[in-house]
Structures are given as C-alpha cells and as structure tokens.
Amino acid sequence: MTVAIEVRGATKTFRQSTGVFGTDRMIRAVDGVSFAVEAGSCLGIVGESGCGKSTLARLILGLLPVSSGEILVEGQSLADMDRKSRARLIQPVFQDPFSSLNPRRRIRDIVAMPLQAQGIATRERASRVEEMLVRVGLPGAIADRLPAQLSGGQRQRVAIARALVLRPRIVVCDEPTSALDVSVQAQILNLLDELRRDLGLTYVFISHNLAVVEHISDRVAVMYLGRMVEQAGTDDLFAAPTHPYTKALLASVLTPEPGLGIPDVGLGDSYPDPANVPPGCRFHPRCPIAEARCAVETPQPRDLNGHQIECLLA
C-alpha cells in the first residue's frame, strides 16, 4: 500500500486566556494522534463538537503548525514544504459555502484564484476554470455570477471546483455537507465519490454525521477529546463497534424507522471539556462500563480484531 498521509504523534495545544488575573489554560485540541491514509482511499473522522477533528484537518492542511509530532504527505514532511507546493498537493473543502467564498468576486475568479497564486498564465487559467466547472456539474453561465446568486449546493460545487483546479492529490473535506439540505447533500456526496474514483484522489473526510461517513469512507477514525479512540475499516467499525464511545455514538443515530423510539445513549449528563481533560481514560466520566482503574490508568493504543482502540476494558 502506498501511504498518502502519515501522521505521527501529532499534538496541537492552544493557550486560552482566562482574563487579566487568571493564569492561562492550555488546551490540547489534538493530543498525540497517529494514523496513515492509503493513497486513493477515504479516511472518515467522526466525533462530537470540540473533539479536535477540525483542528486535525487544519494540521493536515498545513494551515496550523503542529506543536509536536510530524505529518508526512507522500513521504515529505509538511513542515518542510512551502505554501505553493503544499497547495498543489492538498486542498480543502469547508463546511459553509456561504462564508468560504468571497462574496464580492465572480465565480470565475474564485475558482481561478489558486491558479493565479501559482503564477499560471491567464489563458490557461480560463480554460482550466471552464473545464473544472463542467466537471463539478455547474452550467457555464454561472462563471459570471456572484456567490449570493447561487444556491447552497451550487456554492459547495464551486468550493469543490476551486479545491480541484490545481489537480491536487489529497482533499481534506471538513463537514462538506453539514450546511446543506438532505437532497442536496446526496448530490454533493455522489459528486465527491465520483471525483475521487475518476481522479484517483485521497480524501480525509470529517463529519459528525455517521451515516454520511459510512457512505463515503473506506476507513473510519473516532475522535474523543483530542485522541483517536478507535480506528477500523468502515464495514468492521459499523458492524462491530468495539470502543464504548463508538458504540454510544452509533446508538445515538436516529435512522428513519418509526417504532424504534429514541435510544438511551447512556452517556450521562456530563459534557467533555477540552480544557479539563479527565485523568486516566479521558472517556471514563461518561463511560457506561467504566471501572475504578479507568480513572487512574491511561489506555494505550492496541489492536483488537483489526480495530485499533484505546480502552482498558473492551
């Protein structure tokens, strides 16, 4: 297997100010995360808000430097790359196509921006933009419009065209369909899937929607308070979730089946606070099967039936 992305012990800490007289708190948004993504595959990352999944996306994109650890993209360290070569290799698609597109620029110019930044000649820019807009299923007439004149789905197609116009090898999608209606979400997911197969792209796909992740990913990683608590192949993970947190997450998905009622997730009322990571296993205060030692011992990553998990009990 060729590895497209390799993350080794990546950690990102932020300083949070607590006011003039308080001492600043350190928040480890991503705390020693390691994984690899096979070239041409899609890794889905799921977790609740505040688990560090978007910070991780920014680290992989090189938009934030790691505090410690290393990220290798196609064997090269991300830290050694300049912005231009990084942009040719990795591109992002963000959640909100309403705020990620400059409202004062025409669609044509928005999609051409990455080409312009690479110093590509005007004439080639025009033809590549046109080609890309067709590729993502937008009518040519849209090139002269402003983002405000487009629907949410069309805007997300523009964001995808902009991400792909440099022909990158890797695309990091951070909640790309969360702001869209279900019928449009399905259109965008189908488009992303088709583009990956046709262009041989590698995806990192971040979402809080488990069904969406199951649909598009080959492998899934579950994040909790900055750690990856379970990683496995998609079919394995959904068929036999192993970590108690993964089980709770899957149990909380409401499928459109009447009569099943509303599940009791069993996570209790406490909510994870990244500024206040519990000792031992960080999931223990919410864990339905926690024992006394879970509050003391920190679980190390281990392999269990092909799942990589961090749990003392599973």
Partner 1 sequence: MLDRPALLDVEGLRVRFSPKVEAIRGVSLRVERGQTHCVVGESGCGKSVSALAVMGLLARGAKRSAGHMRFDGQDILNLSERELQKLRGDRMAMIFQEPMTSLNPAYTVGSQMAEVLVRHRRVGKQQGLDRAAELLAKVGITAPGMRLAQYPHQLSGGLRQRVMIAMALMCDPELLIADEPTTALDVTVQAQILRLLRDLQQELGLAILLITHDLGVVARIAHKVSVMYAGEVVESASATDLFASPRHPYTRGLLACVPVPGTIKRGEPLGSIPGTVPRIADGFVGCGFRDRCAYAMPACAIGVPQRDDGAGHRHLCHLQ
The residue from 65, 200, 263, 279 that contacts partner 1 (CB under 8 A) is: 263
| The two structure tokens encoding residue 161 | 């065209």
Rank residues 127 and 276 by Cβ distance to partner 1 and give the closer one: 276
CB of 265 to partner 1, least distance (A): 5
Q: How far is the CB of 41 from partner 1 (least distance, A)?
A: 11
Helix count and strand count (H, E) for the chain: 9, 12
**C-alpha of 221 from chain center:** 10
19 is a site residue for partner 1 (CB under 8 A): no
Rg for the chain, CA atoms, rounded: 21
Distance (Å, whole) CA 154 – CA 143: 11
> What's the min distance (Å) between Cβ of 124 and partner 1?
32
Over the window 210 to 239, marking each residue x when it contacts partner 1 by CB under 8 A and - when it does not, the resulting string is xxx-xxx-x---------------x---x-
Could you say which of 17, 122, 127, 255 contacts partner 1 (CB under 8 A)?
Answer: 255
Instruction: Give the residue from 7, 21, 91 showing the smallest Cα distance to 52.
Output: 7
Which residues are paired to 303 by β-bridges? 308
Residues 131-190 that bind partner 1 (CB under 8 A): 151-153, 181-187, 189-190
Where does 114-180 show beta strands of DSSP type E?
A: 170-174
In what side-by-side order are the strands of the sheet with 76-77? Answer: 25-38, 3-16, 68-73, 76-77
The smaller minimum CB distance to partner 1, of residues 1 and 260, is found at: 260
Using CB under 8 A as the criterion, which residues of the chain lie in contact with partner 1 when the complex forms?
48-49, 151-153, 181-187, 189-190, 193-194, 208, 210-212, 214-216, 218, 234, 238, 248-250, 252-265, 267, 269, 271
